[in-house]
Amino acid sequence: MKSRKVKFSLVFRDMWQSSGKYVPRVDQLVKVAPAIIDMGCFDRVETNGGGFEQVNLLFGENPNKAVREWTKPFRQAGIQTHMLDRALNGLRMSPVPADVRKLFYKVKKAQGTDITRTFCGLNDIRNIAPSIKYAKDAGMISQCALCITHSPIHTVEYYTNMAKELIRLGADEICIKDMAGIGRPYSLGKIVKNIKDEHPDILIQYHSHAGPGFNMASILEVCKAGCDYVDVGMEPLSWGTGHADVLAVQAMLKDAGFDVPEIKMDAYMKVRSMCQDFIDDFLGLYISPKNRLMNSLLIGPGLPGGMMGSLMADLETNLKTVNNARVKRGKKPKDQDYLLIKLFEEVSYVWPRVGYPPLVTPFSQYVKNLALMNVIQIQKGKERWSMIADDIWDMLLGKAGRLPGSLDPVLVEKAKAEGREFFTGDPQDNYPDCLDRYLEQMNERCWERGEDDEELFEYAMHPAQYEAFKSGKAKVEFLADMAKRKAAQKECEQGGQTSANALLQLPLSPQVMDVDVNGEKFKVTVSFGISSEEAPQSAVLQPQTSVSASAPSASGEEKTLLSPLEGKFFLTKSATETAIKEGDSIKKGQVLCYIEAMKTYNAVMADFDGIVAQICVGNGATVMEDDVLVKFA
């Protein structure tokens, strides 16, 4: 009997984003592509999608240029490229209007992406169905994903029926997206077999993460059941919060009798060496050493490997907040492991109470953020659920899709008390078309729409990040942050401290650095020493204009709005909102601004009526907890 073929896909984008914050620059991507092709074992490569484009913008690189140059060598070699697509959310954390979603697929096809892997973080088929049509209309292969999690609701029958419905709606392929690696091997095999029994010609691709320890057994089970493609990683970015290494998967499947491709080891070692060079260059500054470890504690909270890189960075930032609160209350500071265990415990508490959303982007971040906010608020002596970001409320209220389970009565009552309404209609109806508005803004600024309207698409998909990219601010902030981390690393090495603590050690004196932004030179002074009286200053392109002090209130006490957490300050989160300005009258409970932290916009509301006397922070500036944001008369 002829051996059945199993093919491999290198999830290069996810390898990096499961390890840390950033992906390689376009010059690095183009450099490594030929070596990946020379390995000779990949029929597919994941080139972009998810947070990829936001990451490019964050360090001042045009993502459209990156995608075109990165996909080109694979297409020329006959290797299919695929990307991750968040359905209603497109490439971002928040929902996207339908006209932007339609343009999305046309742009990505023109840029060289063959397959779109569409998933809804709630497994709400209403959010996926339009993407099937948009992708196929653009000439792309529509691969639809089942977001795997383990709960009383998410059974083999649940996933089998979901796959059948997606195929009925026109999906060309099915992806078993085991994003947290907590799918149980036997059950995953049954899901694949059920799909293949009814639709033997439908291609199935399996994606998993190594963290909890199930995924090698799961790969073997799904392949026995008929899986056609397996997503793999490779050293130095396999295992841990990443994926199973292609060497181990190939050897396991070959021993089991499958027809798998051979791997050219000289090319493997070349790619491995290049990736290590990229890590040593700057990417390693954003990779926690703990992300190299597998941890079966992840079985409980079920957090996906794709967000563990950012999770460790979040813990690093919020540990300071937690310890400040503990010291104020006369308690001893805690270490990062303490906060990690508290967070895992809180995720396990929160998840069933918010309706068992599959823990995948953006809802894994929402559940994690909500849990982390609960931990922080409890450490401050406040109540659980006292701070819930707008995007998280949208999930709870049904605006992002239908929750698989029921919402806890406490949250239902909290929503009613705050005048929030539950939504049961089509989620897309909440987000009207907007391309005309963004095109008008681009014309006013004399910005080019770009080849195949790709710049228009990028602006509409990531407006705040795109504006920071165009102004050069993103590159300045990235280079300043990288300089800070390199200085901390150097100080750590000289002081003999452990690498795990390196990023917490900051130089006390201001650092002067030269920055090149689109050919224009800037000299930037960056301060990042921390004491109990002061916080790090953000890098700026030029001195900020001073604003007159606010008038005192009638009681003689100055009223101020303080930042509830560390993050980036924004007056609005979309072009549909009107920013407050000095002289405006405001009412208690009114949303005045947002703090973007952990990939969500946290609304900051007024605690009293008043008149805006001074907006103390520039739009997009980094703020610390308890920084004064607004002063009132």
Each residue's pLDDT tens digit, 253-276: 999 999 999 999 999 999 999 999
* Whether residue 161 is found in the same domain as residue 210: yes
Residue 483 has pLDDT above 80, yes or no: yes
Q: Is the peptide bond before 152 cis (omega within 30 degrees of 0)?
A: no
- Strand pairing partners for 83? 48, 116
Does residue 565 register a pLDDT over 50? yes
Report the mean per-residue pLDDT for the chain: 85
Domain boundary among 286, 307, 322: 286
At 286 the three-state DSSP class reads helix
**pLDDT tens-digit profile of 46-87?**
999 876 776 777 778 888 999 999 999 999 999 999 999 999
**Confidence tier at 315 by pLDDT (50, 70, 90):** low
Residues 452 and 356 in one domain: no
Residue 619: predicted pLDDT: 85
Any domain includes 506: yes
The CA dihedral of 519, 523, 528, 529, to the nearest 10 degrees, is: 160
Does 243 have pLDDT greater than 90? Answer: yes
Quick check: is 551 in a domain? no
Token output for 122: 């709630």
pTM greater than the 0.85 cutoff = no
In 294-309, which positions are buried (b, 16+ CB within 10 angstroms) versus exposed (e)? bbeebbebbbbbbbbb
The answer to whether residue 267 is domain-embedded is yes
Domain boundary among 254, 286, 318: 286
* pLDDT over threshold 70, residue 88: yes
Segment 33-52 shows an average pLDDT of 93
Give the pLDDT confidence score for residue 550 in this predicted structure. Answer: 35
Cα atoms in the 13 Å half-sphere on the side-chain side of 108: 36
Say how far apart CA 24 and CA 12 lie, in whole Å: 10
> From CA 117, how far away is CA 82, in angstroms rounded?
7
Q: Are residues 175 and 82 in the same domain?
A: yes
- Mean pLDDT lowest among 53-62, 281-290, 348-357: 53-62
Please give the tally of structural domains in the chain: 5
- Angle at the Cα of 443 from the Cα atoms of 439 and 445, rounded to 5 degrees: 120
> With pLDDT > 90 as the criterion, what percentage of the chain qualifies?
55
Better-predicted residue by pLDDT, 268 or 567: 268
Q: Quick check: is 233 in a domain?
A: yes
Q: Are residues 280 and 320 in the same domain?
A: no
What pLDDT was estimated at residue 49? 87
What pLDDT score was predicted for residue 346? Answer: 86
| Same domain membership, residue 198 and residue 78 | yes
Strands 520-526 and 511-517: antiparallel
CATH code, 228: 3.20.20.70
DSSP character at residue 88: G
79 plus 172 within the same structural domain: yes
pLDDT at residue 144, as a whole number? 98
Rounded to an integer, the average pLDDT of 152-180 is: 97
Question: Within 10 Å of residue 175's Cβ, how many Cβ atoms?
Answer: 26
Is residue 352 reached through a cis peptide bond, with omega within 30 degrees of 0 on the bond before it? no
Residue type, 46: E
- Report which of residues 435 and 621 the model is more confident about: 435
| Partners of 118 in the β-ladder | 85, 144
Statement to judge: residues 37 and 49 lie in one domain: yes
CA distances from 318 to 147, 443, 473 (A): 29, 40, 24
Whether residue 537 is contained in a domain is answered as no
The last residue of a domain, from among 395, 410, 429: 429
Q: Which residue has the tokens 């649940």?
A: 158
Question: What pLDDT is stored for residue 402 in this prediction?
Answer: 94
339, 375 contact by CB (below 8 A) = yes
Give the DSSP letter of residue 595: E
Q: What's the chain's Rg over C-alpha atoms?
A: 24
**By C-alpha distance, which of 4, 71, 63 is closest to 454?**
63
- How confident is the model over 504-524, as pLDDT tens digits? 333 334 444 455 544 555 555
Most confident of 326-330, 501-505, 576-580: 576-580
Q: How far is CA 45 from CA 38, 74, 75, in A?
A: 13, 8, 10
Residue 379 in this model has a pLDDT that exceeds 80 = no
Question: Quick check: 526 pLDDT over 60?
Answer: no
Residues 127 and 267 in one domain: yes
The verdict on 503 and 409 lying in the same domain is no
Report the CATH number at residue 593.
2.40.50.100
From the number of C-beta atoms within 10 Å of its C-beta (0-12, 13-18, 19+), residue 248 rates as middle
The pLDDT score that the predictor gives to residue 301 is: 66
From the number of C-beta atoms within 10 Å of its C-beta (0-12, 13-18, 19+), residue 182 rates as buried
Rounded Cα gap, residues 445 and 472, in angstroms? 15
| CA proximity to 215, closest of 195, 243, 240 | 243
pLDDT of residue 629 exceeding 90: yes
53 with 147, same domain: the answer is: yes
Burial class (CB in 10 A: 0-12, 13-18, 19+), 450: middle
Contact in structure between 357 and 363 (CB atoms under 8 Å): yes
What gap in Å lies between CA 580 and CA 604, rounded to an integer? Answer: 12
pLDDT of residue 274: 97
Neighbours of 412 (CB within 10 A): 14
Residue 424: both structure tokens together: 């049961």
Statement to judge: residues 231 and 191 lie in one domain: yes
Residue 571 belongs to a domain: yes
Range of the domain at 594: 559-632
pLDDT score recorded for residue 460: 95
Name which of 85-99, 114-128, 319-333, 565-579 the model is least confident about.
319-333
- Give the whole-angstrom CA distance, residue 121 versus residue 364: 8
Amino acid at 460: A
- Token pair for residue 59? 């360090």
Residues 6+ apart with CB under 8 A from 55: 17, 21, 22, 23
pLDDT digits (tens, 9 = 90+) for 593-609: 998 876 678 888 888 89
Residue 2 belongs to a domain: no
Q: Are 486 and 519 within one domain?
A: yes
Instruction: Identify whether the C-beta of residue 556 lies closer than 8 Å to the C-beta of residue 550.
Output: no
What is the rounded distance in angstroms from the CA atom of residue 608 to the CA atom of residue 631?
12
- Give yes or no for residue 284 having a pLDDT over 80: yes
Asked whether residue 532 carries a pLDDT value surpassing 60, the answer given is no
Q: Is residue 460 part of a domain?
A: yes
Mean pLDDT of 468-479: 87
Q: Helices (H), strands (E): how many in the chain? A: 20, 18
Please give the average per-residue pLDDT across 20-44, as a whole number.
94
Mean pLDDT score, 40-49: 96
